[in-house]
């Protein structure tokens, strides 16, 4: 399980990638430019994390940036995915309570949490529940 201290050491890009791959189920693909695996296929696409190319990933249009740490619309997409899984939703609220120090598990904790806190809690809960 990833600890909160370990989560705090991740960069924003690493958090977003973890969320995209582990929680959203996006896939890494091979980059023809730098020959590393570099992006995630989903509704939104990301450029290669190593060379920032999008053509190397076979895209014909530049990707739209996906950042659920700052964009509430992108978080909403994560939230919809999250709500499909009742156990994960429950464990997410528990993790959020642990992070914020509010042990009531009430929806108010969720409403007051900022996006980076939500993302960290979700990654932590997902890791604990599914091992990734
Ligand atoms: Zn690349």
For residues 102-123, give the mean pLDDT. 89
Q: Give the distance (Å) from ligand 1 centre to CA of residue 89.
A: 34
Of the candidates 20, 27, 31, 40, the residue with the CA atom closest to the CA atom of residue 58: 31
CA of 42 to the centre of ligand 1 (A): 17
Number of folded domains that form the chain: 1
CA 115 – ligand 1 centroid, Å: 28
Q: How far is the CA of 75 from the centre of ligand 1 (A)?
A: 26
The larger pLDDT score, comparing residue 20 to residue 40, is at: 20
Report pLDDT digits (tens) over 33-70. Answer: 998 877 666 666 678 888 988 888 888 888 878 899 99
The SS3 of residue 37 is strand
pTM for the structure as a whole = 0.83
CB atoms within 10 A of CB 128: 14
Range of the domain at 24: 4-130
Predicted confidence (pLDDT) per residue in 71-110, tens digit? 999 999 999 999 999 999 999 999 999 888 887 767 889 9
Rounded distance, CA 70 to CA 17, Å? 14
CB under 5 Å of ion ligand 1: residues: 31, 33-34, 38, 48, 50-51, 53, 56
């Amino acid at each position: 399980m990833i600890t909160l201290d370990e989560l705090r050491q991740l960069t924003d890009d690493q958090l977003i990638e973890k969320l995209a791959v582990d929680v959203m189920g996006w896939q890494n693909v091979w980059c023809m430019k730098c020959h590393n695996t570099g992006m995630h296929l989903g509704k939104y696409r990301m450029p290669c994390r190593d060379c920032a190319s999008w053509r190397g990933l076979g895209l014909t249009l530049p990707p739209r940036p996906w950042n659920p740490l700052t964009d509430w619309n992108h978080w909403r997409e994560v939230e919809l995915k999250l709500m499909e899984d009742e156990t994960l939703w429950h464990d997410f609220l528990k993790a959020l309570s642990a992070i914020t120090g509010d042990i009531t598990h009430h929806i108010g904790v969720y409403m007051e949490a900022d996006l980076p806190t939500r993302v960290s809690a979700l990654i932590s809960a997902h890791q604990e529940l599914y091992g990734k």
